[in-house]
């Protein structure tokens, strides 16, 4: 297995992390989101996590955002868009930028961290996203090359 294949596997796996979070919050599959709190049942996909940030240094900001419809829509669109882009291998640079912003915002909501004073999985995933975009990981086992042709080779859309 080559490094391009390892990046492709990482891309698909991380895409599934985002897509799974979207599906669980949408349908309430009972993992992180119980069925009665699913988005389809009228629950807010952002309320639980952001209300839990109330004790952190950014608690006021995140608490004010929790449960607003526009925040829920942006969050869910981000999870779906980043997850689908990673799995398909398209728009990797846009997906990496959007995913990195989402992950760093989630990291900020998780402060103070309980198991490490600085680093958690959100930061690690953000670095992996940047590596995926920089390595053109969508070209292996994905539609990255075809996507580049369709978008006229515009670097930011790659």
User: How far, in Å, CA of 94 to CA of 112, rounded?
Assistant: 29
For the segment 137-151, what is each residue's pLDDT rounded down to a tens digit?
999 999 999 999 999
Neighbour-count burial of 52, counting CB atoms closer than 10 A to its CB (0-12 exposed, 13-18 middle, 19+ buried): middle
Q: Can you give the pTM of this predicted structure?
A: 0.94
- Band (48; pLDDT cuts 50, 70, 90): confident
SS3 call for 29: coil
Confidence bin at 119 (pLDDT 50/70/90): very high
For the ranges 27-41, 109-123, 131-145, the lowest mean pLDDT is seen at 109-123
Which two structure tokens, joined as six digits, stand for 7? 């990046």
> What pLDDT shows up at residue 1?
84
Rounded to an integer, the average pLDDT of 87-92 is 98
Q: What is the pLDDT of residue 59?
A: 86
Residue 129 has pLDDT above 80, yes or no: yes
Q: How far apart are CA 47 and CA 31, in angstroms?
A: 16
């Amino acid at each position: 297995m080559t490094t391009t294949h390892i990046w492709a596997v990482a891309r698909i796996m991380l895409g599934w992390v985002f897509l799974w979070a979207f599906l669980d919050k949408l349908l309430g599959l009972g993992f992180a989101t119980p069925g009665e709190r699913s988005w389809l049942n009228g629950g807010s996909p952002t309320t639980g996590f952001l209300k839990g940030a109330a004790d952190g240094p950014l608690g006021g900001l995140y608490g004010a955002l929790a449960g607003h419809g526009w925040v829920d829509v942006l969050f869910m669109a981000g999870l779906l868009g980043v997850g689908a882009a990673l799995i398909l291998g398209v728009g990797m640079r846009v997906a990496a930028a959007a995913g990195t912003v989402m992950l760093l915002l989630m990291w900020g909501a998780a402060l103070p961290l309980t198991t490490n004073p600085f680093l958690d999985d959100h930061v690690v995933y953000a670095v992996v996203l940047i590596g995926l975009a920089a390595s053109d990981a969508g070209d292996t086992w994905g539609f990255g090359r075809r996507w580049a042709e369709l978008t006229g080779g515009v670097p930011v859309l790659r």
